[in-house]
Amino acid sequence: MIFKDREIEDIMLDGVDHNDAPDYCDAFIYGATWSDSGEELNDKELDELNNDSDLVYELVVESLY
């Protein structure tokens, strides 16, 4: 996945509650790393990712299926 013109990987999700399906509105990204450096995204970068609720939903669905 591309974020800020760089690729991220190892995206970790939490808050995935199947009782909330199909919305999964409590899901969030709690960790990810930059592919090129292996560095973890900082809290501000994770907040920016989590502000895109469509992206979080897409990642949840991908992780389930």
- Tell me the domain boundaries of the chain: 2-64
The pTM for the full model equals: 0.89
Could you give the angle at the alpha carbon of 18 between the alpha carbons of 49 and 31, nearest 5°? Answer: 30
Task: Look at phi and psi of residue 25 and say left if phi exceeds 0, alpha if psi is from -120 to 50, else beta.
Answer: alpha
Residues in the chain: 65
Q: What is the pLDDT of residues 14-36, one digit of tens each?
A: 999 999 899 999 999 999 999 99
Q: What is the pLDDT of residues 35-60, one digit of tens each?
A: 999 999 999 999 999 999 999 999 99
